Structure 1
Amino acid sequence: MEITNTYKHKDKAVANLSGGQKQRVFIAMALAQDTKVLFLDEPTTYLDIRYQLQILKLIRRLNKEFGMTIVMVFHDINQALYYSDEIAAMRDGQIAAKGKPDEIITSELINKVYGVNLDVEIHNNKPFVISWN
């Protein structure tokens, strides 16, 4: 609870917590099981930007400081690119590309996976999909 900053919610029903608080409590429950691998499906869905950043920073900390393997599913491509060491881009249930974000993400891959023409730019040495064609 200390790692996830959820001790203050220990006596509250999960149903009474905000979305970001619930996510941190669910992660705390996984940590209490002493897991080495954490699987997360859309961990930032329905969260405002503040809670999205808090959750993503917590997840990064679990990986970097505690050596936990994190497997996440994202639909927000920029979150996936920024917060992942490796990604697998999927199309129709098949892996279209996998590797380090800065090595595989291109406009061509975005088109192949999503069927849209968008630019990929580098910011702070990380790729971002930013164009609104």
Structure 2
Amino acid sequence: MKKRKLDNIAKQVNKEVTKDSTPRLTFNDCLNQTKINEQQKTIDNIQQNLYLMAKASVDNKSEINKTNDNLTKIVSGFERLMDMITQIKENEKLTFALFNEMKNGSFKVFEYLIKSSPRNTALDFT
């Protein structure tokens, strides 16, 4: 019904428009152009949305990478801290061993430390 009504209006407008011989847009041409314009707006909106989605994806990936870098720094800092704690515990054990040896009059650990350390020939005066 609506289509038939539009067609009748289009025919009437076309008759009126074509009375003089100068070429003009017909009602159907205007209607088609309006449809094309609406389709182009829809396509533009879709393209804009796709662009925004792609940009957000890139931004999110960038943020994820920054977060991963920060987590890596935190973990490596934690690993260094754990290494330091382990070193402190080992030094503590060594200190107790040396203290016990000194208390008992034995210097085996102390002699081992001296032998195992690399010699600096620049300080060798013999």
Computing the radius of gyration from Cα coordinates, the structure with the larger value is: 2
Q: Which has the higher strand share?
A: 1
Q: Which has the higher helix share?
A: 2
Q: Which TM-score band applies after superposition, normalised by the shorter structure?
A: under 0.3
Give TM-score scaled by structure 2 length.
0.20
Larger RCO (CA within 8 A; separation ≥ 6): 1
